[in-house]
Amino acid sequence: MFCPKCKSEFVKGMTICPECNETLVQKLPENKFVEFVKLCESPNPSMTAIIKSILDSVDIQYFVRGENMQTLFGGCLEFTNPRLSRVEFLVSKEDKETALELIKEIEPDEDQ
């Protein structure tokens, strides 16, 4: 039995990792599949830079996907300037909540 979190192996009979309180699994997945989900959109390069630096500072892995993508969720920061090229930030599902909390602090650019 293995702990999915700390990857420790345990003897049969144990069901929970005493370290992490995680339910043990029979087998660790070979390659952990990380699902990336949309975090938010950035309407301009300066915002993009800010979001990047925030995500970098907390070691959240992210992808930036550029332009031409339809807005599915309306943009979490209520960016409202469609004239400028947008980019989308994608983070792993696990990190999304954390990342959202962090970027909430950013004030969206006022429409100039």
In which residue are the tokens 């959109």 written? 41
**Number of chain positions touching Zn ion (CB under 5 A):** 6
Q: Does 60 bind Zn ion (CB under 5 A)?
A: no
User: Do 10 and 17 touch, CB atoms closer than 8 A?
Assistant: yes
Contact 29, 58 (CB under 8 A): no
- 3 near Zn ion, rule: CB under 5 A: yes
Task: Give dist(CA 89, CA 59) in Å, integer.
Answer: 14
Half-sphere exposure of 84 (CA within 13 A, CB side): 18
Q: How far is the CB of 28 from Zn ion (least distance, A)?
A: 11
87 binds Zn ion (CB under 5 A): no
| String of contacts with Zn ion for each residue 9-28, x by CB under 5 A | --------x-xx--------
Residue 2 CB, nearest approach to Zn ion (Å): 9
Binding site for Zn ion (CB under 5 A): 3, 5-6, 17, 19-20
